[in-house]
């Protein structure tokens, strides 16, 4: 079943402009344990993919009903690919210092999210010059609300030092109902 955006969430789409993006974001750097290898893009993708079951909307994209038929809907992205959402920050293999990390953060946050895909992205800087790693995450405000910090934390961080491996999820997207059938296929969100 499709979920219709609330009027408030739809307004975040309507007020967005080429110079005022309506995503929320954060950046952080992390120290690695002295004996730990740098994180890898494939490991982060695997970890996030294994946890998307906890945040199903992160696999959903916007679908717009005909004009005058109300707010857009969230529908399963039948072509979901984690590689479009968890990407490297900078060039592959690049070691970045703090100045370059902030520069790359600014560049990534200055780009709007692609509305044809689920509206979130995570960037990884696996190697910083002092041994740390860095991350940047951005999520459209239409996708997240007050509980978003918890949902993103569940995607990225473990509560145990040695978590069990994430199971490979079996996800089967629902077919999109098509533009003409959207208004009758969805349910309103609270």
- Range scoring the smallest mean pLDDT among 68-72, 94-98, 104-108, 113-117: 68-72
pTM of the predicted model, to two decimals? 0.82
User: To 5 degrees, how large is the angle CA 64–CA 59–CA 82?
Assistant: 125
If one compares 109 and 32, the residue with the highest pLDDT of the two is 109
| Average pLDDT value for residue range 78-92 | 94
Q: Hey, where are the domains in the chain?
A: 2-158
Give the H or E element holding residue 61. Answer: strand 60-63
pLDDT in tens, 2-40: 689 989 999 999 999 988 999 988 899 998 888 888 889
* CA–CA distance, 16 with 23 (Å, rounded to integer): 9
Pick the CATH number of 2-158 from 3.40.50.300, 1.10.150.650, 3.30.559.10, 3.40.50.2020: 3.30.559.10
Enter the tokens of residue 70.
């109300």
Q: Taking all residues of the chain, what is their mean pLDDT, rounded to a whole number?
A: 83
């Amino acid at each position: 079943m499709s979920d219709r955006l609330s009027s408030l969430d739809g307004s975040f789409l309507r007020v967005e402009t080429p110079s005022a993006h309506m995503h929320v974001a954060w950046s952080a750097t992390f120290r690695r344990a002295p004996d730990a290898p740098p994180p890898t893009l494939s490991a982060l993708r695997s970890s996030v993919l294994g946890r998307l079951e906890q945040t199903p909307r992160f696999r959903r994209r916007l679908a717009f009903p005909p004009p005058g038929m109300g707010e857009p809907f969230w529908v399963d992205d039948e072509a979901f690919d984690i590689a479009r959402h968890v990407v490297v920050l900078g060039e592959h293999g690049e070691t970045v210092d703090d100045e370059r990390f902030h520069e790359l953060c600014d560049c990534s946050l200055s780009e709007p999210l692609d509305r044809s895909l689920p509206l979130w992205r995570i960037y990884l800087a696996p190697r910083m010059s002092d041994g740390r790693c860095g991350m940047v995450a951005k999520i459209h405000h239409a996708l997240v609300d007050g509980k978003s910090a918890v949902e993103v934390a569940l995607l990225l961080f473990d509560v145990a030092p040695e978590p069990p491996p994430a199971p490979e999820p079996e996800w089967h997207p629902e077919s999109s109902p098509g533009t003409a059938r959207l208004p009758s296929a969805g349910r309103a969100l609270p």
